[in-house]
């Protein structure tokens, strides 16, 4: 027999974690292969819950298809970049955007990876919220950087703790990541918070990386204030895309918009250009979805309005969670998630990944543990609020019944 050397993954992946598609998902697949139905509340994938692709987007993509088979400019087609510029021109306070400072990508995910690769040297530190959307932490590590987590304060509606951020700045701190509206907490940041973040970034000359992919998924009187509008004097990268507001996550279409002064950052921006060129171009059919999505009727508006589907689902999730003894939840003001707390005096959870696993096996319900979002304690879970309200209500009731008798040894 031929002798083959063992093949392990690279050591660069040592700190790369992505529990949203982790061990529990493997068990879920096994249960499904045995014929069980699993309610998967682990990923924010609107299509999986009956949200259709808006017709105007599909129509324009189909029309573009016969001519969408070649590479485009590496930043993306100009018509899509112009549509993005227009979107921000209509956003109050947003600084002027040059179409050449817009990069399209295969989702925000690819752009996060590109930007971190262009930015970080071994040991450079990046401030990232805890809890976070874990790709930010993973890509910081993969790029040789050191993620430093700053706390968001649950008692303050999950707003970032500015004192904690200040305490964690070192001479190696290069950038700060802001996720607003937030995944996983659903928090929408106040102007005061954003101005506090901008003041810190200004004082320490930090690059601002603002993930605003949920900027139009807002409930009640929540208002989204773009970070770039609060910090027009700083280099700010704003990330957004079609996956959530436009509910076409599978098209893999996102963008990053660069605003503010650039005289100090030519090398970094050249790095982004270089990496954009090396991947040749983003998925071309999906680039033709951008203009269609951003113009005309914004179908998200009726979904988030008081009797709209997303609004009702958010309400159902929040009410259901609050009704479970020993569980509390900050009411999500935006995005597609709830991040409930399990009071450690009532629910003694030492291993939240095990809780998620046991809940899956017992109730066929798949959530993600709070530590999967780099939250330091095993006392939170994340629930996706995408299923119909009655499905969410029933699932959370089952979770409550499960928790009532659940004990971890
Ligand atoms: N950023 C945040 C905060 C997210 O929640 C997600 C997906 O859930 C992404 C980025 C990835 O988005 P995309 O589908 O554009 O890669």
Q: Is the CB of 185 under 6 A from ligand 1?
A: no
- Which pLDDT tens digit goes with each residue over 22-59? 778 889 999 999 999 999 999 999 999 999 999 999 99
Q: Which atom of ligand 1 is least distant from the CA of 335?
A: 5
CA-nearest residue for atom 7, ligand 1, is 44
**Helix/strand/coil for 342:** strand
Q: What does the pLDDT read at residue 24? A: 87
Does the structural domain 13-42+305-405 have CATH classification 3.90.1150.10?
yes
Q: Closest Cα to residue 101, out of 121, 84, 122, 126?
A: 84
- Dist. CA 115–CA 331, nearest whole Å: 32
Q: What is the pLDDT of residue 17?
A: 79
pLDDT at residue 16, rounded to an integer: 84
For all residues of the chain together, what is the average pLDDT? 96
Let me know if domain 55-294 sits in CATH 2.60.40.770. Answer: no
pLDDT single digits (tens) 210-233: 999 999 999 999 999 999 999 999
286 within ligand 1 shell (Cβ under 6 A): no
User: Ligand 1: distance of its center to the CA of 182 in Å?
Assistant: 11
pLDDT tens sequence across 265-305:
999 999 999 999 999 999 999 999 999 999 988 999 999 99
Ligand 1 in reach of 178 Cβ (< 6 A): no
Shortest-distance atom of ligand 1 to CA 249? 14
Query: What are the pLDDT digits (tens) for 230-255?
Result: 999 999 999 999 999 999 999 999 99
Residues 6+ apart with CB under 8 A from 63: 288
Answer yes or no: is the C-beta of 42 below 6 A from any ligand 1 atom. no
Whether the per-residue pLDDT at 133 is higher than 80: the answer is yes
Q: For ligand 1, say whether the CB of 132 is within 6 Å of any of its atoms.
A: no
Overall average pLDDT of the 73-102 stretch: 96
Q: Is 183 in the pocket of ligand 1 (CB under 6 A)?
A: yes
Note the pTM of the prediction, 2 decimals. Answer: 0.96
Per-residue model confidence as pLDDT tens digits over 10-20:
888 888 877 76
Any idea where the domains of the chain sit in the sequence? 13-42+305-405, 55-294
Q: Which residues contact 343 (CB under 8 A, 6 or more apart)?
A: 326, 327, 328, 379
Instruction: Name the DSSP class of 84.
Output: H
In this prediction, residue 20 carries a pLDDT of 67
Mean pLDDT of the region 375-396: 97
Point out the ligand 1 atom lying closest to the alpha carbon of residue 112.
10
Instruction: Give the pLDDT mean for 145-158.
Output: 98
């Amino acid at each position: 027999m031929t002798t083959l050397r063992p093949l392990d993954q690279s050591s660069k992946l040592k700190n790369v974690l992505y529990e949203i598609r982790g061990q529990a998902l493997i068990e879920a697949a096994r249960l499904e292969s045995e014929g069980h139905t699993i309610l998967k509340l682990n990923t924010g994938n609107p299509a999986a819950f009956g949200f259709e692709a808006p017709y105007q987007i599909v129509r324009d993509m189909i029309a573009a298809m016969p001519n969408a088979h070649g590479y485009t400019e590496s930043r993306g087609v100009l018509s899509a970049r112009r549509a993005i510029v227009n979107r921000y021109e209509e956003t109050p306070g947003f600084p002027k955007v040059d179409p050449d400072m817009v990069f399209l990508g295969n989702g925000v995910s690819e752009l996060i990876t590109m930007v971190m690769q262009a930015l970080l040297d071994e040991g450079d530190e990046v401030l990232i919220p805890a809890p976070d959307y874990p790709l930010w932490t993973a890509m910081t590590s993969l790029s040789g950087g050191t993620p430093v987590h700053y706390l968001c304060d649950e008692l303050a509606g999950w707003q970032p703790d500015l004192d904690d951020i200040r305490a964690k700045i070192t001479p190696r701190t290069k950038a700060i990541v802001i996720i607003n509206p937030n995944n996983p907490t659903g928090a929408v940041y106040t102007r005061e918070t954003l101005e506090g973040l901008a003041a810190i970034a200004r004082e320490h000359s930090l690059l601002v990386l603002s993930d605003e992919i949920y900027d139009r998924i807002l409930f009640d009187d929540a208002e989204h204030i773009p970070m770039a509008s609060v910090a027009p004097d700083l280099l700010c990268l704003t990330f957004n895309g079609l996956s959530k507001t436009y509910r076409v996550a599978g098209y893999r279409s996102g963008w990053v918009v660069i605003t503010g002064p650039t005289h100090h950052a030519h090398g970094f921006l050249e790095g982004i250009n270089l990496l954009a060129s090396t991947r040749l171009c983003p998925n071309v059919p999906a680039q033709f979805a951008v203009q269609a999505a951003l113009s005309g009727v914004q179908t998200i508006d009726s979904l988030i309005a008081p009797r709209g589907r997303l609004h009702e689902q958010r309400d159902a999730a929040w009410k259901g969670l609050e009704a479970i003894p020993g569980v509390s939840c900050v009411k999500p003001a935006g995005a597609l998630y709830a991040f409930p707390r399990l009071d450690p005096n009532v629910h003694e959870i030492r291993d939240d990944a095990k809780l998620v696993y046991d809940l899956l096996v017992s109730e066929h319900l798949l959530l993600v543990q709070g530590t999967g979002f780099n939250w330091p304690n095993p006392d939170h879970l994340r629930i996706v609020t995408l299923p119909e309200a009655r499905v969410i209500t029933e699932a959370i009731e089952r979770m409550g019944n499960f928790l009532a008798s659940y004990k971890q040894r």
